[in-house]
Structure 1
Amino acid sequence: MTPQPASSIWSAVHEERRALIQDLENLSAAQWQTPSLCPGWDVHDVLAHLVDTAKTTRLGFIRRLLAARMDFDRDNTAGVFRERAQDPQITLAAFRSVQSRKSGPPVPLATRLVEAVVHGEDIRRPLGIVRTYPVAPVLAALQHQLKTSVKIGGGKELVDGLRLVATDGPFELGRGDEVRGSSVALLLTVSGRPVRDDELDGGGSGALLKRCSTS
């Protein structure tokens, strides 16, 4: 796949933020407390994290990471605490206010696509909300994850000796036993998220799921 230009990436990120805002506008108080796919975080926590990362600047990220003693998890926890209002609707309003921002930490821009889709599903799936994503941005996010080490949040090592095939777009990568699935299912799996048993197929799907469960 040809790398997407920055303008296309930000356009897709802004659209995903808009779609998520729309999906969350009418949640009940109980739904906001639903455990997300991120261990230890509920739906409200994930939204607060998205507000935090949307506000993050390159210089601010470096300062925060130093304050967190180079511990990414500690920095993320601090960010959630900072942006999680007592009333989820206030957090949602904050997310609405940063919907069109183009700032972010000093990492490859494709990570904004990964965040938008994966965290979107972290929230939607436990709530039973289904979104049909544009395929191109999801495939760009998947391509990035497969080039990035597990050590820094990617899934490169997880697919060694496997061939991934997206069933909804022009994407094939690797050699070995085949793993077939939608672009979203493949992205979630290599990003360490659980998927339904019927979302992946092929001789290599069992091996990939096993690797992901123990990584």
Structure 2
Amino acid sequence: MSARDLLRVSDLRFNAMAATLSRDEWASPSLCDAWSNHEVLAHLVIGYRTGVGVLTTEMVRHGGSFDRANTALARALARSRGAGELLDDFAVLVTRPRGLGRVFPPRLLLGDHITHELDILFALDRRPAIPPDAVIAVLDTQVAVPNPFVPAFRNSRGLRLRATDVDWAHGERGPVVEGRAVDLVSVLGSRPLRLAHLNGDGVALLASRISPRQTRRAG
């Protein structure tokens, strides 16, 4: 399956799962600092339809900061569109992306989208049901390709990473970090909540690389 096809299948699966969330769950805070789950969903929609011009204009309004522009766009869209409406928008955009969604590498988008799915699910204490092939594809990309939205490449350097529930490993030298694949994805994306679910002599080093600022930026 191509990266674009894997992204599409994963996004449609996410959309079906997300339709089961309640109003209160959408209003709850996500693991992405200062964003509600509703705002995370709005961010995913924005990523599939916003052009460079809109993003540039918003950055100018916020002193050149991508982070503040990103947050402002997500919050504005969440205020104007309910979660159900955003899910309808997302379902259409998955197959007909516009703007940056058409040109941004699908393997990086997959990592961004699954990281945000975990932001929602882990914050709600829900167990993810993401297929192993999608999680492995994310991990393969995270440790090999810098992603401007998810700082996993930097966080993984010099570590030996081992998934305990799927056939995936990375690195031949350095301290070891092991755990479920979804927990590795989340923590490598600078979400500290799942650190307690990882084991190995490299966990302390990985924890030292994670900061609240990184969590705000990842998205």
| Band the TM-score falls in, shorter-chain normalisation | 0.7 to 0.9
Query: How far does residue 114 in structure 1 lie from its aligned partner after superposition?
Result: 0.6
Unmatched runs of 5 consecutive residues or more in structure 1 = 1-6
Which residue pairs with 1:144 in the alignment? 141
Structure 1 range deviating more: 100-109 or 44-53: 100-109
**In structure 2, C-alpha distance between the alignment counterparts of 1:82 and 1:186, rounded to whole Å:** 31
**Aligned residues: percent identity?**
30
Which residue pairs with 1:90 in the alignment? 85
**In structure 2, C-alpha distance between the alignment counterparts of 1:33 and 1:71, rounded to whole Å:** 26
Among candidates 42, 48, 56, match of residue 66 of structure 1: 56
**In structure 1, C-alpha distance between the alignment counterparts of 2:102 and 2:54, rounded to whole Å:** 11
**In structure 2, C-alpha distance between the alignment counterparts of 1:46 and 1:100, rounded to whole Å:** 20
Which residue pairs with 2:28 in the alignment? 34
Quick one: structure 1 residues 143 and 89, their matched pair in 2 at CA, closer, same or farther if it must change by over 3 Å?
same
Which residue pairs with 2:173 in the alignment? 175
Alignment of 1:119-158 (within 5 A): 119-149=116-146, 153-158=150-155
**In structure 2, C-alpha distance between the alignment counterparts of 1:194 and 1:101, rounded to whole Å:** 34
**In structure 2, C-alpha distance between the alignment counterparts of 1:102 and 1:91, rounded to whole Å:** 14
Letter paired with 2:139: L
**In structure 1, C-alpha distance between the alignment counterparts of 2:86 and 2:55, rounded to whole Å:** 23
Q: Describe the SS at the equivalent of 2:201.
A: coil
Q: How many residues are treated as equivalent by the alignment?
A: 205
Could you list the per-position Cα deviations for residues 75-95 of structure 1 after superposition, in whole angstroms to 9, with x for gaps in the alignment? 312431453234322222222
* Residue 48 (structure 1) aligned with residue 42 (structure 2): yes
Contact kept in structure 1, 2:163 and 2:178, CA below 8 Å: yes
- Taking structure 2 as the reference length, the TM-score comes to 0.80
Among candidates 180, 187, 190, match of residue 189 of structure 1: 187
Could you list the per-position Cα deviations for residues 51-79 of structure 1 after superposition, in whole angstroms to 9, with x for gaps in the alignment? 111223xxx22x23431134321331243
**In structure 1, C-alpha distance between the alignment counterparts of 2:170 and 2:74, rounded to whole Å:** 36
**In structure 2, C-alpha distance between the alignment counterparts of 1:160 and 1:22, rounded to whole Å:** 35
Unmatched runs of 5 consecutive residues or more in structure 2 = 215-219
CA RMSD across the alignment: 2.5
Contact kept in structure 2, 1:37 and 1:123, CA below 8 Å: yes
Structure 1 range deviating more: 154-163 or 120-129: 154-163
Query: How far does residue 139 in structure 1 lie from its aligned partner after superposition?
Result: 2.2
**In structure 2, C-alpha distance between the alignment counterparts of 1:51 and 1:151, rounded to whole Å:** 18
Query: How far does residue 199 in structure 1 lie from its aligned partner after superposition?
Result: 2.4
Could you list the per-position Cα deviations for residues 161-183 of structure 1 after superposition, in whole angstroms to 9, with x for gaps in the alignment? 32112221232225111111222
Which residue pairs with 1:4 in the alignment? none
- Taking structure 1 as the reference length, the TM-score comes to 0.81
Letter paired with 2:73: G
Which residue pairs with 1:77 in the alignment? 71
Q: Describe the SS at the equivalent of 2:95.
A: coil
Among candidates 140, 162, 165, match of residue 162 of structure 2: 165
Quick one: structure 1 residues 86 and 137, their matched pair in 2 at CA, closer, same or farther if it must change by over 3 Å?
closer
